[in-house]
A = this chain, B = another copy of it.
Amino acid sequence: MRKTPPEIPDVILNRLPLYYKHLKKIKNKNIEYISSEELAKHTGFSSSLIRKDLNYFGTFGKKSYGYDVSCLCRQIQLIMGMHISKTLIIIGAGNMGQALAFNSGLNERGYKLKALFDVKVDLIGKSINGSPILSTEELIPFIKKEDIDIAILTVPSEVAQEITDIIIRANIKGIWDFTEIPLKVPDHVFLEEQHINEGLCKLSYKLFQNHPY
């Protein structure tokens, strides 16, 4: 049974990918059913919270058995739209851009990488994991012609806003931003900022939690 939720609270939306990550691991161990209590042990969330979260989307569990692992994985995929095909480009074919071109998570989530873009002449024309590196001058026509949904931004922070303005003019739908600079985008463009160094900050804080600063 499936509900069509009006709007999922952010706090639940943030937990779904984590549930998914753990469920995949459990699935690989060929475990068919898992109780909310077991999943709680894996994820660190309370069993009560997990049951409530999952129930938000419909009734997926079987009383006295727990949840069908495969089925639950598939449900989360459907909720997140992972089964829907999306087009993707990477702007900035440096180390990070190239690393992400090899990220198998892209395909798994329905993203088709169409091209990378860079300004460096010695990169243009090369091919990374089957996708060509093109000149940033071709950005606008390419996005329009190939109807690109999402752009990954791995350019130097100094040019991030400039490039962003360009791709917004070309009607990009969403941006996954890896730069250090907060970007300004209009409301209709979905922006996901990957605050890559947040993890470093938190580790530093934990390491010296009670230091006399």
Whether A213 pairs with B79 at a CB distance below 8 angstroms is: yes
Q: A206 within 8 Å of B by Cβ?
A: yes
Number of copies of chain A assembled together: 2
A121 to chain B, nearest CB (A): 20
From known contacts A98-B95, A105-B197, A197-B103, infer whether A206 and B182 are also in contact, taking CB-CB under 8 Å. Answer: no
Nearest B residue (CB) for A205: B80
With A81-B205, A208-B84 known as contacts, the answer to whether A200 contacts B213 (CB < 8 A) is: no
Please, which residue of chain B has its CB at the minimum distance from the CB of A211?
B81
Given contacts A79-B205, A81-B207, A204-B86, contact A176 B199 (CB under 8 A): yes
A20 CA / B114 CA spacing, docked (Å): 34
Known A81-B211, A94-B99; contact A205-B86, beta-carbon cutoff 8 A: no
